Amino acid sequence: MILTPTMTGIATPSPLQYAFSAKRAPHARRPGTPLLLDGASREASWQQVSQASERALYLHIPFCRKRCSFCNFFENGANPARMEVYVTALCEEIKRRADTPFAQSRPFNAVYLGGGTPTDMTADQIGRVLEALRRFPLVPDAEVTLEGRLNGFDDEKWQAALDGGVNRFSFGVQSFDSRVRLAAGRLDEREAVLARLQTLSDRNRAVVVADLIFGLPWQSHASWAQDLDDLMASRVHGVDLYQLIGLPGNNLERFNASGRQPEGLPSAERALMYRFGAERLEGAGWERLSCCHWRRDGREQSRYNRLAKSGAEILPFGAGAGGSYQGMGVMNGRDLNAWHQALSAGVPVPAMMMGQGPNDARLGRVRGALDQGLLPWAILPEPWRASLATLFARWQEHGLARVGEEGVSLTLAGRFWTVNLQAGLLEFLDAERQAALGEAG
């Protein structure tokens, strides 16, 4: 087996900055096999019983009032009439699917309302969606998250969400710096964002989480340090620190090419920002739950994110929603007209279905463990441990991991490059499998 730099990173005096040239993708995934299932086969899957030990629901609200410059998946403007039609149809679809044997066979551990910008819904719409969700069996302490932005999220919406069972809010702050926010297409300046976060966090009615991005245009190490100070001053219960990734199709490319704004800091500088953020939070007593997520206290569980990253069963609802169930990966089509037409005709919504291999469930647990920074030996079957030993040894040589009695623990550099390491592990296993097939042939 020949180890490649994409599997192992490279030897460098500063693995945090230079083990890889850049983060390869938001997530590491193995491509599945496309499935061509007719409507009858898809409907039949809802009459079966789930075998999952943990499961979640994902609802997609594909509307935004404004497109952020770093976003490459903007779908629809938040037209009130169009949103009302969508929410009404979504609620009907949820109710219809909730009454099936598959949905009722096992309880759900988490629910996530994502987008898009779910907080752009009205208070009435938020309440109706959450009421429809009550038809699903949830575990008593199910985590129910509403994602969105603070702008426009007034007390009426807050109360409607709480009344409907939301116990966790995730707000995309990205930066508190007003100049950085303006360039990123965010609404509201620093003072308004910080004040609203403090108000909602202090109410102690639900967990409040904020997302921050490092590497944005106009951002500096000094402004990032201030972002971390503001974050802790806001008294939120949890935070995600995300690296800006140059995905195609966003406005940053166009703005940079036109000279309207500078490019964000290079990957090597972003690595230092990650280190500063991790050390700043942990020095203040925050606990790291994953390579990019920290919590101030035990109320924050980040349960849905853990399930999603470890390949758990997730039922997707809405145009553009993704998930996995019954041994299939599912991505609903984004076209709103096609989605509405399918629901009106009483047929399954357009979706890309991908078959999963026999080891995909285990690989999901492996990816989930690496996302948390520790891969216990117990997750790996004995044959995998033997074959992966050379890969793990190289990670250790390159300063990305430590191989110990409990398993493989990622260093701070490894945590920064965790997606690359996950992709490298998948690449290694695929190359090994192809080599074995070649020998057999």
* Average predicted confidence (pLDDT) for the chain: 93
Q: 122 — phi, psi (to 5°)?
A: -75, 165
- Eight-state DSSP code of residue 255: H
Local confidence band at 20 (pLDDT 50, 70, 90 cut-offs): very high
Is cis: bond before 116, omega within 30 of 0?
yes
Bridge partners (DSSP) of residue 240 are: 211, 293
| Residue 329 three-state SS | strand
pLDDT, tens digit, 9 for 90 and up, residues 93-121 = 999 999 999 999 999 999 999 999 999 99
Give the residue, 32 or 59, on which the prediction is more confident: 59
**What's this model's pTM, rounded to 2 decimal places?**
0.95
| Residue 439 three-state SS | helix
As a whole number of angstroms, the distance between CA 83 and CA 129 comes to 12
As a whole number of angstroms, the distance between CA 24 and CA 420 comes to 6
- 295-322 mean pLDDT: 96
For the cut 80, the answer to whether the pLDDT of residue 43 exceeds it is yes
Predicted pLDDT at 258: 65
Cα 421 vs. chain centroid, distance in angstroms?
17
pLDDT, tens digit, 9 for 90 and up, residues 286-300 = 999 999 999 999 999
Give the residue, 72 or 137, on which the prediction is more confident: 137
- Eight-state DSSP code of residue 46: T
| Residue 94 three-state SS | helix
Q: Is 283 exposed, middle or buried (0-12, 13-18, 19+ CB in 10 A)?
A: exposed
For the cut 70, the answer to whether the pLDDT of residue 74 exceeds it is no
As a whole number of angstroms, the distance between CA 212 and CA 243 comes to 9
Bridge partners (DSSP) of residue 146 are: 113, 169
- 389-408 mean pLDDT: 97
Predicted pLDDT at 247: 66
Q: What is the fold, at CATH topology level, of the domain defined by 359-439?
A: Arc Repressor Mutant, subunit A (1.10.10)
Predicted pLDDT at 249: 66
Predicted pLDDT at 361: 87
* Structural domain boundaries in the chain: 33-310, 359-439
Predicted pLDDT at 75: 77
pLDDT, tens digit, 9 for 90 and up, residues 127-168 = 999 999 999 999 999 999 999 999 999 999 999 999 999 999
pLDDT, tens digit, 9 for 90 and up, residues 415-424 = 999 999 999 9
In Å, the largest CA–CA distance within the chain is: 66
pLDDT, tens digit, 9 for 90 and up, residues 175-230 = 999 999 998 888 899 999 999 999 999 999 999 999 999 999 999 999 999 999 99
pLDDT, tens digit, 9 for 90 and up, residues 235-270 = 999 999 999 987 666 777 666 666 666 777 899 999
- Length of the chain, please? 441
* Superfamily in which the 33-310 domain is placed by CATH: tm_1862 like domain (3.80.30.20)
Predicted pLDDT at 348: 94
Give the residue, 434 or 180, on which the prediction is more confident: 180
Express as a percent the part of the chain with pLDDT over 90.
80
Which has the minimum average pLDDT: 5-9, 85-89, 353-357?
353-357
